[in-house]
Structure 1
Amino acid sequence: MAKDSSTPYTNNIESEYILKGGIKMGYESLAADILQNVGGEQNVSNLYHCATRLRFTLKDNKKAKKQKIENLDGVITVVEAGGMFQVVIGNTVNDVYEAITKISDLGMSTEEDNTPKEKKNLLNSFIDMIAAVFAPTLGVLAGSGLIKGVLALFTSVGWLSVESGTYVVLNAAADAFFYFLPIFLAYTAAKKFKTDIFIAMVLAAALVYPTITAAYTDSTAINFLGLPVSLAKYSSTVIPAILAVYVLSYLERFIRKRLHESVRNLLTPFICLIIMVPLTLMVVGPIANSASQLIANGYLAVYNFSPILSGAVIGGFWQVLVIFGLHWGMVPVMTNNISFYGRDTLGPGCMTAVAAQAGAVLGVFLKAKDKKIKSLALSAFISALFGITEPAVYGITLKYKKPFYIACIVGAIFGGVAGAAGAGALAVATRSILSFPIYIGQGFVWLVASYFLAMIAACILTFLFGYKDEVAKEEQKMLNNEKELILEKPAQGKTIALSKVDDPTFSSGVLGEGFAVIPTRGEVYSPVDGMISSIFPSKHAVGIITAEGAEILIHIGIDTVNLGGKYFETFIEQDSQVRAGQLLVKFDLEKIKENGYDPTIMVLVTNSSTFEKIEFVDDNQSVTIDANFDEVLV
Structure 2
Amino acid sequence: MNFKETAKGILENVGGVENIANMTHCATRLRLNLKDASKANDEAVKSVDGVVNVINKAGQYQVLIGTEVPHVYDEFENLVKGSGQLKLEEGTNDGESIISKIFSSISAIFAPLLPALAGSGILRELLILAVQLGFIAEDSGTYAILFASSMAVFYFLPVLLAFTSARRFGASPYISALIGAALLHPNFLALMGNSGNGVTTSFFGIPAVLMDYNSTVVPIILSIWAFSYLYKWLDKNVPETLKLVIVPLVSLIVMVPLTVIVIGPIGVYSGEAIANVVNWLIERSGVLTGILIGGGWSVLVSFGVHWAVNPIMINNISQFGYDYICPLTFACNFAVIGTAIGVYFKARDKKLKGFALTGVITVALSAIIEPTLFGMLVKNKKLFLAQIIAGAVGGAYLGLMKVVTNAFVFGSVTTFPAFIENNANIINGVIGLAISVIVGAVLGYIFTNKEDKLA
Give the TM bin, normalised by the shorter chain: over 0.9
The alpha-carbon deviation at position 460 of structure 1 amounts to 2.1
Alignment correspondent of 1:189? 165
Alignment of 1:404-415 (within 5 A): 404-415=384-395
The alpha-carbon deviation at position 111 of structure 1 amounts to 6.4
The alpha-carbon deviation at position 106 of structure 1 amounts to 7.0
User: 1:446/1:115 Cα in 2 relative to 1: closer, same or farther (>3 Å)?
Assistant: closer
For residue 72 of structure 1, give the secondary structure of its aligned residue in structure 2: coil
Tell me if structure 1 keeps the 8 A contact 2:231–2:251. Answer: yes
Greater mean alpha carbon deviation, residues 66-75 or residues 353-362: 66-75
Higher RCO structure, 1 or 2 (CA under 8 Å, sep 6+): 2
- Structure (1/2) with the larger helix percentage: 2
Tell me if structure 2 keeps the 8 A contact 1:149–1:435. Answer: no
Identity of counterpart residues, as a percentage?
A: 36
Letter in 1 for 2:71: D
Alignment correspondent of 1:428? 408
Alignment correspondent of 1:131? 107
Alignment correspondent of 2:348? 369
Letter in 1 for 2:439: A
User: 1:375/1:347 Cα in 2 relative to 1: closer, same or farther (>3 Å)?
Assistant: same
Tell me if structure 1 keeps the 8 A contact 2:91–2:169. Answer: no
Alignment correspondent of 2:205? 226
User: 1:401/1:286 Cα in 2 relative to 1: closer, same or farther (>3 Å)?
Assistant: same
1:344 partnered with 2:317: no
TM-score by length of 1: 0.68
Alignment correspondent of 1:101? 77
Which residue of the other structure, out of 24, 29, 33, is the alignment partner of 1:48? 24
Greater mean alpha carbon deviation, residues 391-400 or residues 175-184: 391-400
Looking at structure 1, the residues matched to 81 and 374 of structure 2 have their Cα atoms a distance apart, in angstroms, of: 30
Looking at structure 1, the residues matched to 64 and 14 of structure 2 have their Cα atoms a distance apart, in angstroms, of: 14
- Structure (1/2) with the larger strand percentage: 1
Which residue of the other structure, out of 134, 138, 161, is the alignment partner of 1:162? 138
Alignment of 1:132-147 (within 5 A): 132-147=108-123
Alignment of 1:60-139 (within 5 A): 60-105=36-81, 113=89, 117-139=93-115
Looking at structure 2, the residues matched to 114 and 174 of structure 1 have their Cα atoms a distance apart, in angstroms, of: 32
Tell me if structure 1 keeps the 8 A contact 2:286–2:400. Answer: yes
The alpha-carbon deviation at position 375 of structure 1 amounts to 1.4
Tell me if structure 1 keeps the 8 A contact 2:22–2:34. Answer: yes
Which residue of the other structure, out of 248, 254, 272, is the alignment partner of 1:293? 272
Looking at structure 1, the residues matched to 93 and 266 of structure 2 have their Cα atoms a distance apart, in angstroms, of: 30
For residue 232 of structure 2, give the secondary structure of its aligned residue in structure 1: helix
Which residue of the other structure, out of 429, 442, 446, is the alignment partner of 1:447? 429
User: 1:244/1:424 Cα in 2 relative to 1: closer, same or farther (>3 Å)?
Assistant: same
Looking at structure 2, the residues matched to 115 and 136 of structure 1 have their Cα atoms a distance apart, in angstroms, of: 15
Alignment correspondent of 2:313? 334
Looking at structure 1, the residues matched to 84 and 449 of structure 2 have their Cα atoms a distance apart, in angstroms, of: 48
The alpha-carbon deviation at position 421 of structure 1 amounts to 1.5
Alignment of 1:14-33 (within 5 A): 17=1, 26-33=2-9
Tell me if structure 1 keeps the 8 A contact 2:14–2:41. Answer: yes
Alignment correspondent of 2:182? 206
Looking at structure 2, the residues matched to 214 and 364 of structure 1 have their Cα atoms a distance apart, in angstroms, of: 59
Looking at structure 2, the residues matched to 160 and 275 of structure 1 have their Cα atoms a distance apart, in angstroms, of: 46
Tell me if structure 1 keeps the 8 A contact 2:218–2:271. Answer: yes
Tell me if structure 2 keeps the 8 A contact 1:133–1:192. Answer: yes
Q: Which runs of 5+ in 1 are unaligned?
A: 1-16, 18-25, 477-634
Tell me if structure 2 keeps the 8 A contact 1:50–1:138. Answer: no
The alpha-carbon deviation at position 117 of structure 1 amounts to 4.1
User: 1:416/1:32 Cα in 2 relative to 1: closer, same or farther (>3 Å)?
Assistant: same
Q: Which whole-Å deviations, capped at 9, do the CAs of 1:167-223 have from their partners, x for residues lacking one?
A: 111111111111101111111110111011111111111111122223335237532
Looking at structure 2, the residues matched to 225 and 272 of structure 1 have their Cα atoms a distance apart, in angstroms, of: 18
Alignment of 1:543-582 (within 5 A): none
1:396 partnered with 2:372: no
Q: Which whole-Å deviations, capped at 9, do the CAs of 1:4-45 have from their partners, x for residues lacking one?
A: xxxxxxxxxxxxx2xxxxxxxx22111110111111123223
Tell me if structure 1 keeps the 8 A contact 2:30–2:63. Answer: yes
Letter in 1 for 2:411: R
Which residue of the other structure, out of 223, 236, 241, is the alignment partner of 2:220? 241
The alpha-carbon deviation at position 114 of structure 1 amounts to 9.7
For residue 451 of structure 2, give the secondary structure of its aligned residue in structure 1: helix
Report the RMSD for the aligned CA atoms in angstroms.
2.2
The alpha-carbon deviation at position 456 of structure 1 amounts to 2.3
Q: Which whole-Å deviations, capped at 9, do the CAs of 1:226-258 have from their partners, x for residues lacking one?
A: 222211111111100100001101111222322
Tell me if structure 1 keeps the 8 A contact 2:91–2:168. Answer: no
